[in-house]
């Protein structure tokens, strides 16, 4: 869960980005909006029930 992971890594410095996934013609989104937190070159997508939906890893920009 997100709150347990935050305790181990660090607290995010900024407010989360709210992600609204809209339903398409043939399906619906049963999970509602999610919150995206950036932390240590990772983006955590967190559902409203505090579970982590996805993690995106990214590296430093190439020079």
Measuring CA to CA, how many Å separate 34 from each of 23, 50, 61?
14, 9, 27
Q: What is the pTM of this model?
A: 0.77
Looking at every residue in the chain, the average pLDDT score rounds to 85
Residue 62 lies in a domain: no
Domain count, the chain: 1
> Of 42, 63, 20, nearest to 55 (Cα)?
42
pLDDT band at 42 (very low <50, low <70, confident <90, very high): very high
pLDDT band at 43 (very low <50, low <70, confident <90, very high): very high
* The predicted structure's pLDDT at residue 5: 86
Residue 39 lies in a domain: yes
Domain enclosing residue 34, as ranges? 2-57
Residue 49 lies in a domain: yes
* The predicted structure's pLDDT at residue 25: 66
15-35: pLDDT as tens digits? 899 988 766 666 676 778 899
- Contact by Cβ (8 Å): 31, 18: no
């Amino acid at each position: 869960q997100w709150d347990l992971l935050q305790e181990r890594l660090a607290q995010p410095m900024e407010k989360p980005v709210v992600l609204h996934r809209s339903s398409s013609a043939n399906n619906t989104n049963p999970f509602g909006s999610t919150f995206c937190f950036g932390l240590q070159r990772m983006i955590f997508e967190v559902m409203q029930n505090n579970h982590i939906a996805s993690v995106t890893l990214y590296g430093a920009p190439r020079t």
